[in-house]
Chain A
Amino acid sequence: MAASAERLRAPLITPLTLVLGLLAAVAAYFVVQRFALGLGAVTNINAGYPWGIWVVIDVVIGSAIGCGGFAMALLIYVFNRGEHSPLMRPALLGGLFGYTLAGAAVLIDLGRWWQFYNLVLPWHMNPNSVMLEIGLCVMLYVVVLWLEFSPAILERLGWTGWQRRIDGIMWLLIALGIVLPFMHQSSLGSALIVLGTKIDPVYQTPFLPLLFVTSALAMGWGVVIAEATTVSHSFRRPSEHRLIVRIARVVGWLLLVWVAGRFVGLMVRGALGGVFAGSAAAATFWVETALALFATAVCLSPAWRRSEPLMLLAGLAIILFGALYRFAAYLVAYHPVGSYSYAPSVPELTVTIGIIALEILLYLSFVKLFPVLHATRRAPAQA
């Protein structure tokens, strides 16, 4: 695998990276303000909405978008589709920053961040808490992601000894990299079960963990589809469309089953009426369903999936679908006790935008610094 990747030979600093850096710097200013003055000074979260977009977009959605590495590993190593391995490292890199910055966002959002290490102190642990599982699992997964990606860095540094050592345990890292996201991505769904009637019946179901982990998987593949197309197009590299189409077939069926399962679940629970209630939760439900069905149609239609732009659109639709599903479940379908409303403040939005900008900036920098992208045939293979 190492031999088949190369770094992108392009200038590190471009107008785009400058803009992204500026956005990240503005966000950093507000992050400093948050630590100096408190959460209330920067965010609009309140007694009714203790979790705002920093949790929902930066962590819940951010980590799901980072599921590319997990989704590709599952495809390549478990379902034995070795032909997809050229897409592995880019996907891993996306996940690396998705998760690392999600972890950073958690630290920014934690009210008593200086005590976060209590999570790993056994005498503080509460085994009943879904949050404990998510916290430990994400921490571990971030380490696993860095180790999984480390060959790319070691290769560039020429530290072959370490590279061999990591490669020796790579099977374990990959296995952890598949199981851990399964655990915490499902737990991000379980986290809402305890809210009971505070979550709209359209979204509240004991199958939330299943719906969350499968949609995270779909998002992971959606990210890979969009990412591969975008990168190959933007950097004028050969198309990976042949590989993408195969992923599309898998993700198409997955989404179809997902949408059907959700409907059946609502019917079984007698909550199907809620989707016709004209509520905000019903609206997001239909938009999600429409996005998922659009993506399914593109992915499963042999004619449509041959089209690169349509496929890209489908990939984006899957990401949007999963993001909206998470956003809706955590904020739209959430009914606070009391007549509370929440809308993010400007600094709050700025931090979230800054984190996304930083993610893109780091991704762009890493593909230029380290061998990530699939080596083109013209490039000489590096031993």
Chain B
Amino acid sequence: MHTRREFLTAAGAGGACAAARPAEAAISRPPREMPPAAVGMLIDSTLCIGCQACVAACRDANGVEVEDTPFALAGWNAARTWDTALDLDGRTLNVIKVWRDGTAEVKDRASDGFAFAKRHCLHCVDPSCVSVCPVSAMRKDPETGIVSYDPDACIGCRYCTYGCPFGVPQFDLAVPAGKINKCEMCRHLQAEGRIPACCDVCPTGASLFGPVAALQEEADRRLAAAAGATTTFPRGDIREDRPRHEGVVPAYLQHTFGETEVGGTQVRYLSAVPFANLGLPTLPDFAPSRLSEGIQHTLYRWLAAPVLAVIGVAFLVRRNRIRQARDTGREL
């Protein structure tokens, strides 16, 4: 449930965006287009059974250790049997969280219900992290659109964490020489012709890998299907002929999260409960990096303004210093 204040705040923010849009649009750089061969994921919260197979597979595939959250009982998890990550952090690049309301009786119901949320990088079409990184450690692949990270370039300023609208890139704060940790869509596996580990193991196809265009088509198909009707769901890679499984079409919210948010993302979500419940922020369609880059490049185009400013100010300074010296000299 949203409080009245949250609603008003959201309405205010929306109003603010709407009012300022023409002026902002004028200075903003044009939006970035998704690469034609972009790959992504379709995450259907209603299909997720919360088995966390994707979390385990992700750790395996990316060699990140199981989170060992401190607990009152010393050594309770010495064998690291239990994965206790609470959120994305320096060692967790994929996490299954649960949203509960009231008695949490029925899955995917907004009141007294619950839903599972898979959280990791959404691989924005117009990523803020790539825009803000001073040393180009974050890059967006021109073909696949995967947002990747290069620890050899990174200086650890964590501006990507601060700037990401989804709170995804995380710096490992627990070690002296940490690095940023974020989902790179298992690009090392994709290079071998395999698919991201989470989609590979997902038993229900709740995490589905494939070209974004095909995934959006699949999302549209599910949204168009009548709730309660029987349909089949693909698993693993949407292009592959893996056995589909039969299921009932849930009462989807008629929106694919990530289709338009912050200029679009390559990982998209379907859900039967509000996306905000899944921990996905309510965002405008406008990628904020368009405005910041627009302003920055207007001010610093060819470094003309700063250079001219230095020349102008230098002229004034020189003239005034000579005058002042003369004046002081006279005074003395």
Question: A residues touching B (Cβ–Cβ < 8 Å)?
Answer: 35-41, 43, 45-48, 50-51, 73, 76-78, 80, 82, 85, 109-113, 115-116, 118-119, 121, 124-133, 135, 170-172, 174-176, 178-179, 182-183, 186-187, 190-191, 193-198, 201, 204-206, 209, 268-271, 273-274, 277-279, 336-338
Contacts and interface: CB of A to CB of B under 8 A. Distances in A.
A269 B19 contact: yes
Given A77-B320, A175-B314, A50 B88 contact: no
A206 B291 contact: yes
Given A111-B179, A194-B288, A50 B295 contact: no
A125 B176 contact: no
A274 B134 contact: no
Nearest to A265: B20
Contact of B20 (A118, A183, A269): A269
Contacts of B18: 270
Interface string B153-166: 11111110111111
B328 interface: yes
Contact of B174 (A38, A112, A132): A38
B158 A47 contact: no
Interface string B180-218: 100000000000000000000000000000000000000
| In the A-B complex, the 3 residue pairs with the closest CB atoms | A111-B156, A337-B167, A40-B173
B12 A201 contact: yes
B68 interface: no
B27 to A, nearest CB: 7
A356 to B, nearest CB: 22
A132 B134 CA distance: 4
A129 B289 CA distance: 9
Given A39-B173, A190-B295, A194-B128, A119 B134 contact: yes
A271 B9 CA distance: 9
Contacts of A209: 295, 299
Contacts of A125: 134-136
Contacts of B163: 194-195, 198
The B interface is mostly helix, strand or loop, or mixed, namely: helix
The A interface is mostly helix, strand or loop, or mixed, namely: helix
Contacts of A131: 132-134, 157, 159
B16 A271 contact: yes
B19 A190 contact: no
B301 to A, nearest CB: 10
Among A40, A110, A186, residue most surrounded by chain B Cβ atoms (within 10 Å): A40
Interface residues of B, number: 84
Contacts of A186: 299
Contacts of B317: 73, 77-78, 171, 174-175, 178
Contact of B314 (A119, A171, A268, A277): A171
20 contacts: A36-B176, A47-B88, A78-B317, A111-B171, A112-B177, A118-B154, A124-B153, A126-B133, A129-B134, A129-B159, A171-B314, A172-B310, A174-B314, A179-B306, A183-B306, A190-B295, A191-B159, A196-B288, A197-B284, A209-B299
B173 A45 contact: yes
B154 A201 contact: no
Nearest to A198: B165
A128 B323 contact: no
Among B155, B164, B320, residue most surrounded by chain A Cβ atoms (within 10 Å): B155
Given A110-B156, A118-B155, A133-B296, A270 B16 contact: yes
Among A111, A182, A193, A274, residue most surrounded by chain B Cβ atoms (within 10 Å): A111
A151 to B, nearest CB: 13
B78 interface: no
B83 interface: no
Given A128-B293, A195-B288, A273 B12 contact: yes
B288 A50 contact: no
A261 to B, nearest CB: 15
Nearest to B5: A277
Contacts of A187: 296
Among B9, B24, B135, B152, residue most surrounded by chain A Cβ atoms (within 10 Å): B135
Contact of B27 (A174, A175, A206): A206
Contacts of A179: 306, 309-310, 313
Contacts of B174: 38, 40-41
B33 interface: no
B262 A196 contact: yes
Contacts of B16: 201, 204, 269-271
Contact of A273 (B8, B153, B318): B8
